[in-house]
């Protein structure tokens, strides 16, 4: 009886706490991302269209290819890596959205078995719908 009651009530409560994921709204545009590095807040601005992202961070510009797996998951790879570490792709998953922000998890795509898989989290804010041509 408890199992039946749990099955009936579970969808009611889960519906109240489901997160919004309108990921398609964030495939292109101009975005800002802030992160804490030590005691300093660092800001990155990036412009993304469906397949290219240009990042502006600390007076440096980097360009990445973007490959969408589905509306909420994508992989980025630096187009002009300067070392072996920069050659590694980074996988992103949008886990929740609002009207102008999305929260995401990201990690390096690990090819070696002895490397630790570390997932980090961040939030990006859409500041403009402009896209890269």
- Stretch 104-128: mean pLDDT: 83
Q: Structural domain boundaries of the chain?
A: 19-128
Structure confidence at residue 42 (pLDDT): 87
CATH superfamily of domain region 19-128:
Uncharacterised protein PF14869 family, DUF4488 (2.40.128.490)
Q: Chain-wide mean pLDDT for the chain?
A: 84
Q: What are the tens digits of pLDDT across the range 66-105?
A: 999 999 999 999 999 999 889 999 999 999 999 999 999 9
Q: What is the 3-state secondary structure (H, E, C) of the chain?
A: CHHHHHHHHHHHHHHHCCCCCCHHHHCCEEEEEEEEECCEEEEEEEEECCCEEEEEECCEEEEEEEEECCCCEEEEEECCCCCCHHHCCEEEEEEEECCCEEEEEEEECCCCCCCCCCCEEEEEEEEECCCCC
Residue 5 pLDDT grade (very low, low, confident, very high; cuts 50, 70, 90):
very low
Give the pLDDT score at 38.
Answer: 84
């Amino acid at each position: 009886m408890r199992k039946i009651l749990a099955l009936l009530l579970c969808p009611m409560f889960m519906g109240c706490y489901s997160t919004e994921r309108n990921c398609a709204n964030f495939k292109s545009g101009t975005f800002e991302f802030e992160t804490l590095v030590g005691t300093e807040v660092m800001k990155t601005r990036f412009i993304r269209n469906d397949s290219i992202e240009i990042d502006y961070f600390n007076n440096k510009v980097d360009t990445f290819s973007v490959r969408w797996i589905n509306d909420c998951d994508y992989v980025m790879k630096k187009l002009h890596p300067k070392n072996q570490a920069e050659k590694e792709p980074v996988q992103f998953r949008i886990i929740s959205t609002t009207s102008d922000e999305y929260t995401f998890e990201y990690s390096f795509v690990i090819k070696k078995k002895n490397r630790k898989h570390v997932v980090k989290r961040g939030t990006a804010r859409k500041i403009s719908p402009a896209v890269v041509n």
